[in-house]
């Protein structure tokens, strides 16, 4: 029987078992003081001794650190905190360069502590609990006697979700300085390699595509060396699933990083099929100098397990984010529907044009108006003004407060765009402080988008930007800021520090960025910060500690967004995804899709608009009003319900079903919303059924359809039927298979990229 206790400690065999009736994580200390990993997976009943899980035998060519013992080699033991060079040749969790140049360490167990709740991490975002009974934390101390280096491994297991948070703290308790050159926040040795790895990979405007491959011998790794962002290319999260796993069933392990800078996540499969999973700060370009008495805290990594397939793993992360990562009043409050002026005006606006856009949006029921780039300094294009956060008097003659008051008087909230980490050379900030831009002495400065990166590793820079932003935010009733960041770091060098600390610049930059976020939220606790890094370049758990929502991608094309939002949902909840309806032809793809489909995709996120509603037809504007009302009615379900991926745009064959589908189910299972999307239409397509998930099997659900027609509108089905028999719909508008058509006009009812939303309400 599984007990409610979360951490069992068996002192007599020095064994630790973290469990919460959903997951178990077990390791022990061996006679040499090393931590050996024993088990991670579905919850198992505790027992006095799991020592039978230690697998060890003599193997030819193995190096053996115990004289006379030819069976004991760290190369063939599964460990919790591996080191290189004392018989283990795999990638280590730690590497420390000592004053004599040696990198050899020998960390041994020195003690442990168990406490209720979860301690905060110094200067870093991390998951948290509201009350001590929501989690327990195990701290394990390891000491390297020769150097005095002390490592503390932190394990927090949450009470009612299958999630464990991991991090590492290193303290120099010796007499000589040393440099950390590698420190993984998490290392787990799995007993075999029979896993399919999932990564979220892409680029700007096509972020987080789902890529899968079976593990193979050697190292398979993703990461980012872009400095200012966790990255458009590889998201800091991976999943390992058994080959028979799908969205609904099978064991899946997920690992995600609570960090927004350079990272690496890798799996190393050795010659005996053991899989070492590690995640942490990328070691290329990283060193951290510790004088005696100083400490370094690694960012946090999150480990989740589900026997219920990829959806189950995703829901574990979604629950974690909504309850233990997001914070402040906007964790639980309904987010406002917004309109952003960027694609409507770009830099070509004045106050009256903005008011006209806001007025029409208010008429549609939109709740927040956001003024994007161009409101500050001499910002008439992208070559000037960044760094000078003062309102442009020509565009805003009555200042920021004048515009904000006009917006507020309509009954709307007011928001503002910032890109606080960047500077243009054509700015007062750069003219006065060129040394504040990151640049290596004697080297050329690379530009991107006509801008340069401020040195947020320099406290003076962070203080200046905070003062400028605070002055603007204090000058008017500003409820929201869109925090943009539009380029990566090059020529990284911290002119405010000496030679020994140049390996710290990337991490200190991210710490400075986190500090600025935290200070702004402390000064303006009701502020919504929507994260953005050229779209989704910083969509990670670290930013979600400050931003309850993140702009998912600069690509607002509805068809592209199906894939982007689908991939993002692997680790991040719908409530975190900034998703808007934009103009057509789309500004990124030049594709034309219906207003209905653009809305039906954007509904599965925070919802908003990136266009001038006054330029729509009367019929389109009526549809917008209807869409806004629909989202207001169901946004609590969308943002707090359980999300299920049904048909993948990455795996669906357009010649077959040609569909993509997902759904969300309210926590009480009384309401569900299904998004049903056609991709490319084909004549004489086969019959298809949509198998739903997560419903109450005994409930009767009445079906209504939004944004299209359906042959099953108004009908009732049991949850059992909808999940096991499937939802059968003969309407032609989504690639139907209804049989004969009555005339030529019927052939025109189906189009590429049609969509509908089905709403199921339990009777």
**For 17-48, how does the pLDDT look when each residue is reduced to its tens digit (9 = 90+)?**
999 999 999 999 999 999 999 999 999 999 99
How much of the chain exceeds pLDDT 70, in percent?
96
**pLDDT at residue 687 above 80?**
no
> What's the token pair of residue 697?
């099997």
Mean predicted confidence (pLDDT) in 517-544: 97
Task: Say if residues 530 and 481 touch (Cβ distance below 8 Å).
Answer: yes
Residue 747: predicted pLDDT: 36
Task: Say if residues 581 and 656 touch (Cβ distance below 8 Å).
Answer: no
Region at 597 (left for phi over 0; alpha for psi -120 to 50; beta for the rest): alpha
**pLDDT at residue 507 above 50?**
yes
Q: What whole-number distance in Å separates Cα of residue 181 and Cα of residue 146?
A: 18
Among candidate residues 259, 261, 264, the one with its CA nearest the CA of residue 238:
264
Task: Say if residues 715 and 703 touch (Cβ distance below 8 Å).
Answer: yes
Beta strands in 666-715 (DSSP E): 671-678, 700-706
> pLDDT digit string (tens) for 286-309?
999 999 999 999 999 999 999 999
Among candidate residues 411, 438, 415, the one with its CA nearest the CA of residue 496:
438
How much of the chain exceeds pLDDT 90, in percent?
90
Mean predicted confidence (pLDDT) in 71-87: 94
> pLDDT digit string (tens) for 702-744?
999 997 778 899 999 999 999 999 998 765 444 333 333 333 3
Among candidate residues 39, 3, 90, 2, the one with its CA nearest the CA of residue 251:
39
For residue 574, the 8-state DSSP code is G
Task: Say if residues 719 and 727 touch (Cβ distance below 8 Å).
Answer: no
Task: Say if residues 198 and 241 touch (Cβ distance below 8 Å).
Answer: yes
Residue 688: predicted pLDDT: 80
Among candidate residues 530, 552, 503, the one with its CA nearest the CA of residue 262:
503
Mean predicted confidence (pLDDT) in 553-576: 97
> What's the token pair of residue 668?
């009480």
Does residue 585 have a cis bond before it (omega within 30 degrees)?
Answer: yes
Residue 731: predicted pLDDT: 59
- Radius of gyration of the chain from Cα atoms? 27
Among candidate residues 388, 29, 319, 47, the one with its CA nearest the CA of residue 159:
319
**pLDDT at residue 656 above 50?**
no
**pLDDT at residue 176 above 80?**
yes
Mean predicted confidence (pLDDT) in 500-515: 97
Burial of residue 591, with CB atoms counted within 10 A of its CB: 0-12 exposed, 13-18 middle, 19 or more buried: middle
Q: How many CB atoms lie within 10 A of CB 175?
A: 9
For residue 448, the 8-state DSSP code is B
CA atoms lying within 13 Å on the CB side of residue 284: 8
**pLDDT at residue 465 above 50?**
yes
Mean predicted confidence (pLDDT) in 619-646: 97
For residue 396, the 8-state DSSP code is -
Tell how far CA 78 is from the center of its chain. 29
Burial of residue 11, with CB atoms counted within 10 A of its CB: 0-12 exposed, 13-18 middle, 19 or more buried: exposed
Q: What is the pTM of this model?
A: 0.95
Mean pLDDT over each residue of the chain, to the nearest integer: 94
**pLDDT at residue 514 above 60?**
yes
Residue 4: predicted pLDDT: 61
**pLDDT at residue 685 above 80?**
no
Q: What whole-number distance in Å separates Cα of residue 586 and Cα of residue 108?
A: 59
- Catalytically annotated residues: 484, 554
> What's the token pair of residue 94?
């730690």
Residue 679: predicted pLDDT: 86
């Amino acid at each position: 029987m599984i007990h409610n206790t979360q951490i069992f400690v068996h002192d007599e065999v020095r064994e630790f078992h973290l469990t919460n009736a959903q997951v178990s994580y077990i390791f022990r200390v061996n006679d040499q003081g090393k931590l050996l990993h024993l088990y991670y997976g579905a919850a198992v009943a505790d027992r006095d001794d799991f020592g039978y899980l230690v697998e060890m035998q003599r193997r030819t060519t193995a190096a053996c650190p115990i004289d006379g013992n030819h069976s004991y080699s760290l190369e063939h033991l599964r460990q919790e905190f591996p080191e290189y060079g004392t018989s283990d040749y795999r990638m280590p969790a730690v590497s420390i360069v000592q004053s004599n140049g040696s990198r050899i360490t020998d960390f041994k167990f020195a003690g442990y502590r168990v406490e209720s709740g979860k301690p905060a991490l110094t200067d870093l975002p991390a998951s948290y609990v509201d009350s001590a009974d929501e989690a327990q934390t195990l701290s394990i101390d390891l000491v390297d006697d020769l150097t005095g280096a002390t490592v503390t491994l932190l394990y927090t297991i949450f009470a009612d979700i299958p999630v464990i948070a991991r991090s590492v703290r290193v303290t120099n308790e010796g007499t000589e300085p040393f440099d950390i050159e590698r420190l993984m926040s998490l290392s787990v040795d799995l007993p075999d390699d029979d896993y399919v790895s999932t990564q979220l990979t892409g680029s700007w405007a096509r972020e987080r595509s789902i890529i899968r491959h079976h593990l193979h011998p050697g190292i398979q790794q993703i990461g980012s060396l872009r400095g200012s962002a966790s990255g458009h290319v590889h998201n800091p999260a991976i999943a390992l699933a058994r080959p028979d796993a799908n969205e609904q069933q099978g064991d899946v392990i997920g690992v995600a990083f609570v960090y927004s800078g350079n990272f690496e996540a890798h799996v190393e499969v050795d010659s005996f099929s053991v899989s070492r999973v590690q995640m942490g700060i990328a070691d290329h370009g990283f060193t951290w100098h510790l004088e005696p008495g100083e400490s370094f805290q690694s960012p946090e990594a999150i480990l989740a397990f589900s026997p219920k397939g990829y959806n189950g793993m995703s829901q574990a992360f979604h629950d974690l984010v909504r309850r233990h990562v997001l914070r402040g009043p906007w964790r639980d409050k309904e987010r406002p529907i917004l309109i952003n002026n960027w694609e409507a005006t770009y830099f070509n606006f004045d106050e009256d044009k903005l008011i006209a856009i806001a007025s029409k949006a208010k008429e549609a029921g939109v709740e927040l108006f956001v003024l994007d780039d161009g409101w500050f300094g001499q910002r008439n294009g992208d070559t000037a003004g960044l760094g000078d956060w003062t309102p442009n008097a020509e565009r805003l003659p009555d200042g920021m407060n004048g515009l904000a008051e006009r917006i507020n008087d309509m009954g709307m909230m007011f928001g503002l765009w910032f890109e606080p980490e960047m500077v243009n050379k054509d700015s007062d900030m750069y003219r006065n402080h060129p040394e504040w831009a990151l640049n290596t002495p004697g080297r050329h400065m690379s530009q991107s988008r006509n801008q340069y990166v401020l040195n947020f590793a320099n406290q003076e820079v962070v203080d200046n930007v905070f003062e400028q932003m605070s002055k603007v935010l204090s000058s008017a009733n500003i409820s929201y800021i869109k925090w943009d960041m539009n380029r990566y770091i090059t020529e990284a060098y911290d002119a405010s520090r000496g030679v020994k600390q140049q390996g710290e610049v990337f991490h200190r930059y991210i710490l400075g960025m986190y500090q600025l976020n935290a200070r702004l939220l402390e000064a303006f606790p009701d502020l919504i910060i929507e994260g953005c890094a050229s779209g989704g370049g910083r969509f990670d758990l670290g930013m979600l500690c400050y931003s309850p929502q993140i702009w998912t991608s600069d690509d607002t094309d509805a068809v592209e967004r199906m894939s982007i939002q689908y991939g993002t949902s692997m680790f991040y909840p719908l409530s975190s995804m900034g998703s808007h309806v934009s103009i057509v032809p789309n500004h990124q793809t030049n594709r034309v899709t219906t207003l209905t489909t653009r809305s039906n995709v954007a509904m599965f996120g925070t919802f908003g608009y990136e266009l001038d509603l006054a330029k729509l037809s009367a019929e389109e504007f009526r549809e917008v009003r209807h869409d806004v009302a629909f989202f207001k009615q169901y946004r609590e379900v969308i943002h707090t319900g359980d999300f299920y991926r049904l048909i993948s745009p990455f795996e669906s064959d357009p010649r077959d079903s040609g569909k993509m589908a997902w759904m969300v189910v309210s926590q009480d299972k009384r309401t569900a919303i299904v998004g049903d999307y056609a991709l490319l239409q084909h004549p004489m397509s086969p019959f298809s059924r949509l198998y739903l998930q997560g419903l109450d099997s005994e409930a009767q659900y009445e079906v209504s359809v939004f944004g299209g027609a359906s042959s099953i509108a108004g009908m009732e089905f049991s949850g059992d039927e909808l999940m096991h028999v499937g939802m059968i719909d003969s309407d032609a508008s989504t690639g139907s298979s209804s049989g004969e058509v009555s005339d030529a006009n019927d052939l025109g009812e189906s189009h590429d990229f049609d969509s509908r939303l089905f709403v199921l309400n339990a009777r």
